[in-house]
Amino acid sequence: MAGEELELYIHSQDAKPKIAVVRPHEVLRDVLVREEIIRQVQDDVLIFVGEWEEALNEADDIEDGEDRHDPVDILLTVEVLELRRHRHVHVHKCKRVHTEINFNGQTKRHRFSPATTIAVLTRWARKKFKLDGAAGAEYVLRICRTDKQPRPSEHLGELVSAPACVVCFDLVKDITPQG
C-alpha cells in the first residue's frame, strides 16, 4: 500500500473541488501546501475529512441542532486519516455553516459541517418538514432570494465564506423544463 496512489477531492470555500493525487505516507499538510490550497504557514483554516451525514440521524423534534464533525490534525498522514476510504478533504474557515431552510411559512435551522452535501441537506429538510416518498422527491433546495439551485453533490463549504458562515435556502418544487 505504501507505493499506491489515490485521488482526493479537495473542497474549499467559494471554489470548485480540486483533485489531488497522493500517496498514503504523505502528510496531509504537505499535500495541501503542494496543491496550493494552504500556505506553508497558515493556521486560520479548519480541515475536515469525509462527507458528513450526521444530521440525518437527528430526532425530528430537535430544533436548531448542530453537527459534531471535528477538524482533523493535518500533521497526520493520508493513511492514518483513512483518506483511501473518505476521499474528500474540506478546507474551510467555518467550523459550522448556520443554515436556515424555509418551507410553507416555517423555518428549520441547523449548524451543519461544511462537509455536508446538498443531497444530505435536502434529505434532512424533507425529513424535518415531513415530506416523504414521491411527494418529497419533487422538492429541491434553492438559495434564498436567488434562482440558484445547487447541485446535490456540492458541499455547503463551497457555497459560503467566513466570517458569515451562513446560508439560507427555500425548499421548492423542482421545475423540470418541458422539451
One-letter amino acid at 132 equals: D
**pLDDT range class, residue 1, cuts 50, 70, 90:** very low
Give pLDDT tens digits for 26-59: 999 999 999 999 887 677 889 999 989 999 999 8
Query: Concatenated DSSP letters for 107-141?
Result: EEEEEE-TT-BHHHHHHHHHHHTT--HHHHHTEEE
User: Cα dist. 30→4, 33, 79, 177 in Å?
Assistant: 17, 5, 14, 46
State the distance between the two ends of the chain, measured CA to CA, in whole angstroms: 50
Give pLDDT tens digits for 118-167: 999 999 999 999 998 888 889 999 999 999 999 999 999 999 988 999 99
In whole angstroms, give the CA distance from residue 66 to residue 94: 13
In whole angstroms, give the CA distance from residue 123 to residue 139: 10
Which grid cell is 47? 480541515
